[in-house]
Structure 1
């Protein structure tokens, strides 16, 4: 098995996330021992951000780091774990709302579309939207 970064790279649909991780200086953190859980937006999820948002974030490393850290949970939270909790603290410091209804799991307003991609240092859950901490939402 590979670590979180190598696993995401080999999947092929997280190029934008990996670019953001690198620009935010978090590659070594995500290659560390862990365990941690990454809620990974796909390239398609990043494409739904308002035009110019991604370019702006890639220039603002402090804000980008907060957003990337908002997608990381401490520990190994598998789908069974997510199904039993209603909120989860992020490495960014904020709390994500976990909602389970109609057989799906939502994290804030993102739907988990693929669960439990296991890695050497944690687990990846694929989500269909980029999560923005409330403190940064509305700031552009």
Structure 2
């Protein structure tokens, strides 16, 4: 009986030791690391629009006749161009001209009857107007290189430039410059140019 009791006690003692061991080994085990948080979904890539190619500057759509007709202070010159039947020539893509357009005020300073005299003689009117036409496309920088500029009328225009870069064409000051046309350039001047006789 005593043997049985002893054996039973040993059995219970052995069982409790094993449980203690399990507890110790459990407490010594490293704590499980929490599962890493799922990576956030990458933001959807926004397609950046391709930059549109910069368009080439469009050539001036208006021809010389249209540019002259649109000048606020060039009405008289435009009327004379039409009277001389030069407007069709200035609208042609075949011409390449630089036109010096006197202002309406410049025409008002002409001796009385000058315009009427020109209008009665188409050939004389055309010659007077063509003295304001320089063949080719001549911006102010190019004109500034001339001592004289050729004209469609024949005689040349004297060009002068002062030290402060003020330029005159046969004594006329340039008021508006480098107005583009599809077939040339327009400069507005403050004087009507007349061929010397």
How does the TM-score come out when normalised to structure 2? Answer: 0.66
Q: Bigger radius of gyration, 1 or 2?
A: 2
How does the TM-score come out when normalised to structure 1? Answer: 0.92
Q: How many angstroms apart in 2 are the aligned matches of 1:32 and 1:86?
A: 29
- In structure 2, the gaps of 5 or more residues are 1-60
Q: How many angstroms apart in 2 are the aligned matches of 1:104 and 1:40?
A: 18
Q: Which position in structure 1 is the counterpart of 2:166?
A: 104
Q: How many angstroms apart in 1 are the aligned matches of 2:175 and 2:69?
A: 18
RMSD between aligned residues: 1.1
2:70 alignment partner, SS class: helix
Residues 157 and 170 in structure 2, CA contact (< 8 A), matched pair in contact too: yes
Q: How many angstroms apart in 1 are the aligned matches of 2:154 and 2:88?
A: 19
Kindly provide the CA deviation profile for residues 80-128 of structure 1, in whole angstroms up to 9, marking residues without a partner as x: 1011111111001111101111321111121111110011110001110
Task: Give yes or no for the alignment of 1:12 onto 2:62.
Answer: no
- In structure 1, the gaps of 5 or more residues are 136-140
Matches within 5 A, 1:34-49: 34-49=95-110
Q: Which position in structure 1 is the counterpart of 2:119?
A: 58
Task: Give yes or no for the alignment of 1:22 onto 2:117.
Answer: no
- After TM superposition, give the deviation of residue 14 of structure 1 in Å: 1.2
Q: Which has the higher contact order (CA 8 A, sep 6+)?
A: 1
Q: Which position in structure 2 is the counterpart of 1:90?
A: 151
